[in-house]
């Protein structure tokens, strides 16, 4: 009974904090589907709705802004198709209140927010740049991490552990500390404002090396001894033994690398200047300046910016869990 009670408390805490973490995401999606006029009412709702007044002119309904309403007559602004005050009618019109009625739509989804946001700035170009940079960086990360991790896990050489711990210590250094020196170094190579500046420096990922090393150390030594007796080379062992047994870890490293590249902001902002080289997060930042008063469009842009990563994570979550279960944290 005591165990059931303690487990129930744990589950309640997990559910509670899970809801707290997911609420901002739900609010973002909900806001992205609202009209800007509805959002400006400052009503905190998670189901997009819409309320507006219409004027019935001999069976033809016009959307209006209600300025003043009395029992007999109402003062209104008549709106055109673009929801601007129409020039075909007087700016202030007095109409019978019986011809004015309130329209309520629940839910009211404005999917056009996504199209408007996508076309407002060249998001297609931003997506193309981000995909290009992310996948080339991923290939570089997997190659360098695979080879380095095997060396740290299975090869004996002087100073191996010291070098590995020096690598790990670099994980503690925040990006702003080394971004200035990196900028000066890339300037010496004439790589500033190029794709090389966005890809090459990130082809080595210390966390991925650490993750691969821990997995490689968990593999039975007998497999490598048997392969060596049969005359298998180091690269043969990597291809025929290590690679087939590392699919879940590779999937995990790939997801983490893609997430890091996809969400990268500070580095591409500093290292590039040309608009045609902007990646998604930098483009989203510039878009937020252009559409600062259009919150619904900002939320729409934020939603379709993170959607690809969520889809990738959804399909790769089994491999991620499996890699953590198998790799462990062996010394």
CATH number reported for the structural domain that contains residue 315 in this entry: 1.10.3720.10
Answer yes or no: do 34 and 61 share one domain.
Answer: no
Residue 45 resides in a domain: no
Model pTM score: 0.80
Please check the confidence at residue 270 and state whether its pLDDT lies above 60. yes
Q: Given this model, what pLDDT does residue 43 score?
A: 63
Residue at which a domain ends, from 85, 105, 125:
105
pLDDT (0 to 100) of residue 331: 47
**pLDDT reading at 83 higher than 80:** no
The fraction of the chain above a pLDDT of 70, given in percent, is 95
Question: How many structural domains does the chain have?
Answer: 3
pLDDT-based confidence at 265, cuts 50/70/90? very high
Structure tokens at 66: 């209600």
Q: Report which of 157, 155, 143 is spatially closest to residue 205, judged by C-alpha positions.
A: 143
If DSSP codes are grouped into helix, strand and coil, which group holds residue 328? coil
- CA–chain centroid gap for 331, Å, is 33
**In a shared domain, residues 90 and 25:** no
pLDDT at 322 over 80: no
Band (235; pLDDT cuts 50, 70, 90):
confident
Q: Which residue has the higher pLDDT, 282 or 82?
A: 282
**56 and 30 inside one domain:** no
pLDDT value at 330 more than 50: no
In a shared domain, residues 34 and 71: no
Say whether both 155 and 98 belong to one domain: no
pLDDT for 45: 67
Is the pLDDT at 281 greater than 80? The verdict is yes
pLDDT at position 99: 85
Looking at 74-159, list the stretches that DSSP marks H as alpha helix, in order from N- to C-terminal side.
112-120, 123-154
Taking residue 39's Cβ as centre, other Cβ atoms within 10 Å add up to 18
- The single-letter DSSP state of residue 155 is -
Q: How confident is the model at residue 276 (pLDDT cuts 50, 70, 90)?
A: very high
Looking at the fold, whether 58 and 34 belong to one and the same domain comes out as no
Last residue of a domain, one of 87, 105, 123: 105
Q: Is residue 306 part of a domain?
A: yes
Q: Which domain holds residue 195?
A: 115-327
The phi and psi torsions of 256 (rounded to 5 degrees) equal -65, -40
* Selected residue with higher pLDDT from 174 and 206: 206
Check whether residue 140 and residue 22 sit in a common domain: no
**Contact residues for 68 (Cβ-Cβ < 8 A; gap 6+):** 74, 75
Q: Calculate the average pLDDT of the chain.
A: 86
Rg of the chain, C-alpha, whole Å? 29
Q: How far apart are the first and last CA of the chain?
A: 39
Does residue 55 belong to any structural domain of this protein?
Answer: yes
How much is the pLDDT for 44? 58
Question: Torsions phi, psi of 319, nearest 5?
Answer: -65, -35
Is residue 136 domain-shared with residue 235, that is, in the same domain?
A: yes
Largest CA distance in the chain: 100
Say whether both 160 and 210 belong to one domain.
yes
Do 90 and 203 lie in a common domain?
no
Give 199's pLDDT tier (boundaries 50, 70, 90).
Answer: very high
pLDDT at residue number 148: 93
H or E element that contains 102: strand 100-105
Whether 147 is in a domain gets the answer yes
Q: Kindly state whether residues 99 and 31 are assigned to the same domain.
A: no
* Residue 44 counted as domain residue: no
What confidence tier does 327 reach under pLDDT thresholds 50, 70, 90? low
Out of 42-56, 70-84, 93-107, 205-219, pick the least confident: 42-56
Rounded Cα distance, 59 and 56, in Å:
6
Checking 262-270 for CB contacts under 8 A at 24+ apart, the result is 262/130, 262/134, 262/308, 262/309, 263/309, 264/202, 266/175, 266/176, 266/179, 267/175, 267/179, 267/198, 267/201, 267/202, 268/133, 268/198, 270/179, 270/183
User: Taking 50 as the threshold, does the pLDDT of residue 329 lie above it?
Assistant: no
> Would 320 be classed as within a structural domain?
yes
- What contacts 305, CB < 8 A, 6 or more positions away? 280, 281, 284
In a domain, 110, yes or no: no
Nearest by Cα to 277 from 175, 141, 133: 133
DSSP letter (8 states) at residue 79: B
What pLDDT is attached to residue 72? 82
Q: Do 119 and 101 belong to one domain?
A: no
Q: How confident is the model at residue 246 (pLDDT cuts 50, 70, 90)?
A: confident
Report whether 162 contacts 101 (CB < 8 A): no
Strand ranges of the sheet holding 93-96, from the earlier edge strand across to the other edge: 93-96, 73-78, 60-69, 50-57, 100-105
Nearest-5° Cα angle at 212, 206 to 215 = 145
Range 174-181 average pLDDT: 86
For a pLDDT cut of 90, what percent of the chain falls above it? 34
Where does the pLDDT of residue 326 fall: very low under 50, low under 70, confident under 90, or very high at 90 and above? low
DSSP class of 85: B
224, part of any domain: yes
Report CA torsion sign: 31, 34, 36, 40.
negative
């Amino acid at each position: 009974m005591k165990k059931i009670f303690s487990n129930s408390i744990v589950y309640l805490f997990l559910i509670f904090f899970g809801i707290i973490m997911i609420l901002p995401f739900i609010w973002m999606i909900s806001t992205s589907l609202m009209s800007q006029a509805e959002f400006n009412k400052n009503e905190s709702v998670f189901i997009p709705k819409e309320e507006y007044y219409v004027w019935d002119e001999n069976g033809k309904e016009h959307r209006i802004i209600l300025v003043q309403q009395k029992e007999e007559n109402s003062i209104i602004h008549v709106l055109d198709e673009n929801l601007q005050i129409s020039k075909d009618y007087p700016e202030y019109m007095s109409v019978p209140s019986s011809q004015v009625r309130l329209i309520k739509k629940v839910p009211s989804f404005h999917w056009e927010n996504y199209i408007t946001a996508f076309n407002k700035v060249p998001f297609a170009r931003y997506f193309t740049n981000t995909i290009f940079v992310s996948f080339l960086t991923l290939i570089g990360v997997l190659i360098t991490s695979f080879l380095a991790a095997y060396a740290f896990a299975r090869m004996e050489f002087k100073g191996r552990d010291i070098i590995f711990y020096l690598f790990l210590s670099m994980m503690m250094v925040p990006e702003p500390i080394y971004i200035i020196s990196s900028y000066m170094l890339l300037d010496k190579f004439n790589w500033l404002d190029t794709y090389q500046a966005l890809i090459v420096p990130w082809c080595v990922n210390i966390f991925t090396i650490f993750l691969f090393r821990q997995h490689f150390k968990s593999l039975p030594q007998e497999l490598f001894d048997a392969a060596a007796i049969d005359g298998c080379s180091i690269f043969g062992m990597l291809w025929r033994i290590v690679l087939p047994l590392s699919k879940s870890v590779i999937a995990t490293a790939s997801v983490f690398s893609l997430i890091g590249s996809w969400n990268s902001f500070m580095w591409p902002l500093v290292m590039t200047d040309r608009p045609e080289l902007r990646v998604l997060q930098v483009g989203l930042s510039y878009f937020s300046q252009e559409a600062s008063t259009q919150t619904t469009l900002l939320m729409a842009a934020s939603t379709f910016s993170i959607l690809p990563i969520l889809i990738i994570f959804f399909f790769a979550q089994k491999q991620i869990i499996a890699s953590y279960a198998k790799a462990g944290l062996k010394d």
